[in-house]
Amino acid sequence: MPYISVQTSQAVSAGTQEQLIARFGKGIEILPEKTEQWLMVDIKENQTLAFAGESGNTAFVQVMLYGDNTSEIYALFTAKATEIVSELLSISPDRIYVAYFPTPYWGWNGENF
């Protein structure tokens, strides 16, 4: 039930998109009870993003989750998400934000969990 949205200021090739999807698929297992089987990944390229008043290579990663976790678990996943985006998109870690949106309600297949 996790959903990861990566918004970036740059173009992302099809091959890199597949690598992002695969790496997030493995990385999501840092979060307890989350697996690639339920992961949806959204990649938005060529977005108008500015950080600290400057355009350039920038990314915003949103992680939406059914349920909540500890700050320690989120810290581990922030490190992993930053590593993935930095390596695959050549974006400096200090230009990547990661935000979490846990929710007690999540629907799938016409029903809520």
Tally of domains within the chain: 1
What's the pTM value of the predicted model, to 2 decimals?
0.94
Residue 1 lies in a domain: no
- Provide the residue range defining the domain that includes 77: 6-112
What is the full per-residue pLDDT of the chain (113 aa) written as tens digits? Answer: 899 999 999 999 999 999 999 999 999 999 999 999 999 999 999 999 999 999 999 999 999 999 999 999 999 999 999 999 999 999 999 999 999 999 999 999 999 99
Q: In what order do the strands lie in the sheet with 3-8?
A: 40-44, 3-8, 59-66, 96-103
Q: Residue 37 falls within a domain, yes or no?
A: yes
Is 55 inside a domain boundary? Answer: yes
Continuous segment of H or E residues that includes residue 76? helix 71-89
CATH number at residue 27: 3.30.429.10
